[in-house]
Structure 1
Amino acid sequence: MATSLPPAPGHGVADGAPLIGRYAGSPAQFDWRGLRAPWQHGPLWTRLHHKRWHYVGIASSELFIGLAIVDLGWTATAFAYLFDRAQGRLLGDWSQDALPGLQVQIADAPLHGARARFRGLGSRLQLEEARGQLQLAVDVRGLKVQATLDLPTAPPLLAIGPIDGGSVHGTVKTTAMKIKGWAEAGGRRFALDQALAALDASNGLLARHTAWRWASAHGKNIGLNLQQGYFGTQENALWLDGDLIPLGAAHFEFDPAHPMQPWRIHTADGLLDLQFTPEGLRAEDRNLLIAASHYVQPIGRFNGWVRAAPGAPQRTVADLLGVTEDHRSRW
């Protein structure tokens, strides 16, 4: 396995400044307490702007499961859903708000030592690393999951970068991880032993207004993570036969008013050109007066091509299952 990226540092800060860049691997933790001016802000600002989340996507020929535990500093939330590909609909779709610290805890360790827990009214989610595996448990209205995820053999991507209107953000993305376990929704039980999972562990001091477009899809030999918006090009990456390849700026061409129509996604460096065909979606619009969000996550297939370097042969991408996302938050 190869990459042109340097190895991940143990922490995200050195000499008072964030270690801005893209790396192969995962830090021990995200700890922004060592930041100094101009990156440092007061305790109240930091409390309100510090956002942490763990997201897991699980894909198989039968289904796609998406779930997240999110700490927004002043509040917290979680969601989980199961999309049945044969029926083309969500069998389980749940979300709930909670109190950070009391009902939600997210450790600053993104991968090794990761721990994210949600305890709400009649709802339990937990993702915890132990002995080189991630233990996942979901017990919410309409959906249950019990699974064990192997940590990835391909290098994760670590991205650290500045945030306009905020301070700094860090994220760890994995490509396909093997999984064993089961899920229950809609009166059906699904085996997950042929599925693959991917993790997004993010931690940053973000702006009050944050927006992004995102794409994530992971198979046995090809995986991708693309973002256009608040984080620039920092987290754009391709995994090809286990190698981690940084990508240039991503461009998302789609109709926000009709997200179930096809999307085109390509990168400025000419290494990726894909069409995304949605099969279904999860969407949620919320307005809490002091905060609001618009979230659309279509589930579907990516087709097109990628390549490892300029001038390298194109590799066909055929029916790679994943998601795109159109997200805007005032938080």
Structure 2
Amino acid sequence: MMLPPAPAHLLDADGVPCFGRYTGQLNAFDWAALAPPYARGALWRLFHHKRWHYVALSTPTLFCGVAIVDLGWTSTAFAYAFDRHKGKIVASFSQDGIPGLCASVAPHAGGSSRFRFLSHLISIEAQPQQRYRLQLDCGHFGIDAEFGPPVAPTLLAIGPVAEGGSVHATQKSGGLPLWGSVRCGAMGYSLDDGVASFDYSNGLLARETEWRWASAHSLDLGFNLQAGYFGAHENALWLDGQLYALGRAHFDFNPDNPLAPWHVWTEDDLLDLHFKPEGARREDKNLWLAASRYIQPIGTFSGWVRTSAQSPKRIVAQLAGVTESHRSRW
């Protein structure tokens, strides 16, 4: 199913969220006028409003993930570079920030986000003509990348959050043309002719939040899948410049051995993929107020996708991307 164009605003004139899946980007994500039954008090919003800006950079040699996260009462950021030939992470950065000082997450997907801690800097800057620049300077680890403009519509998904949350909205891009460079100590990598993608998310989430996620993109084919707190709202397929809705996703994997193969499929019979991990980024935190268990395997997807049950299957062969299993108390 192809998707309708995005509404002009996140909420209608009565404060009701414009629930649904759309193509296009919003210019503002603002929950202040949210109406009952989704409205919450200011203190609740302070502790439950979560925003993040994530960028993936992919080439045949290297995969990088970079995120800036505002949790309301604190902030954090991480970045890593995974050498696909060596099968290991060759540079990484992770840092919690000082509340209100270290992180600034954009008010919408077309905006700019920044994280600064001492001499370390990560910035995702919007450029003219729907282009973006990602800069990272974290000691031995550096990135200078540019990507865009989009070759396919951006996904907008707005929906309710089950079990203790309120509402959530996200923008996901398809594959974006990429160029630039990555510095990992004495090693240098080119990003030219690679593929980037971004995830901008903004919502009022539950104290306990859990999800599985999968994402992979070339310039003509890509997908985003999630199972957990947001249901099937953000499940989508990009194919030949068009964006299509996908049904509920299933993730068959071994939580005790996440580097074993995964099987990912959708109930509408439009996607069936097997994921072969090449390595993973892991991070477990157990703080006084919060805790998280996180693993993001990097690898390749193979199988098939299609745009309807009557359409021919498009073969997917070793498409680079990630899966993820994440549980947070935040």
Bin the TM-score by the shorter chain. over 0.9
Q: Secondary structure at the match of 1:248?
A: coil
Residue of structure 2 aligned with 1:155, choices 131, 153, 156: 153
Q: Secondary structure at the match of 1:33?
A: coil
Alignment-derived partner of residue 299 in structure 2:
300
Map of 1:78-117 to 2, 5 A cutoff? 78-111=77-110, 114-117=111-114
The answer to whether the 8 A contact 1:93-1:142 is kept is no
The answer to whether the 8 A contact 1:52-1:203 is kept is yes
TM-score by length of 1: 0.97
Runs of 4+ off more than 2 Å: none
Distance in 1 (CA, whole Å) between partners of 2:260 and 2:203 is 32
Residue of structure 2 aligned with 1:118, choices 101, 115, 119: 115
Q: Structure 1, residues 138-161: CA drift from partner, whole Å, max 9, x if none?
A: 011431001111131200100000
Distance in 2 (CA, whole Å) between partners of 1:5 and 1:153 is 16
Distance in 2 (CA, whole Å) between partners of 1:266 and 1:122 is 43
Distance in 2 (CA, whole Å) between partners of 1:326 and 1:97 is 20
Does 2:59 match 1:60? yes
Alignment-derived partner of residue 260 in structure 1:
259
Which amino acid is the alignment partner of residue 208 of structure 1?
R
Does 2:274 match 1:285? no
Q: Which runs of 5+ in 1 are unaligned?
A: none
Alignment-derived partner of residue 24 in structure 2:
25
Residue of structure 1 aligned with 2:125, choices 103, 125, 128: 128
Q: Secondary structure at the match of 1:17?
A: coil
Q: Secondary structure at the match of 2:32?
A: helix
The answer to whether the 8 A contact 2:74-2:100 is kept is no
Aligned-pair CA distance for 1:11: 1.9
Distance in 1 (CA, whole Å) between partners of 2:87 and 2:284 is 21
Map of 1:163-174 to 2, 5 A cutoff? 163-164=161-162, 165-174=164-173
Distance in 2 (CA, whole Å) between partners of 1:82 and 1:23 is 32
Q: How many residues align structurally?
A: 327
Distance in 1 (CA, whole Å) between partners of 2:151 and 2:299 is 25
The answer to whether the 8 A contact 2:151-2:219 is kept is no
Which amino acid is the alignment partner of residue 143 of structure 1?
F
Aligned-pair CA distance for 1:261: 0.2
Q: Which runs of 5+ in 2 are unaligned?
A: none
Aligned-pair CA distance for 1:38: 1.3
Q: Secondary structure at the match of 2:310?
A: coil
Distance in 2 (CA, whole Å) between partners of 1:222 and 1:33 is 36
TM-score by length of 2: 0.97
Alignment-derived partner of residue 232 in structure 1:
231
Q: Structure 1, residues 25-81: CA drift from partner, whole Å, max 9, x if none?
A: 111111111101111111110111000000000110011000100000000000000
Aligned-pair CA distance for 1:201: 0.3
Identity of aligned residues (%): 52
Alignment-derived partner of residue 4 in structure 1:
2
Aligned-pair CA distance for 1:102: 1.2
Aligned-pair CA distance for 1:9: 1.5
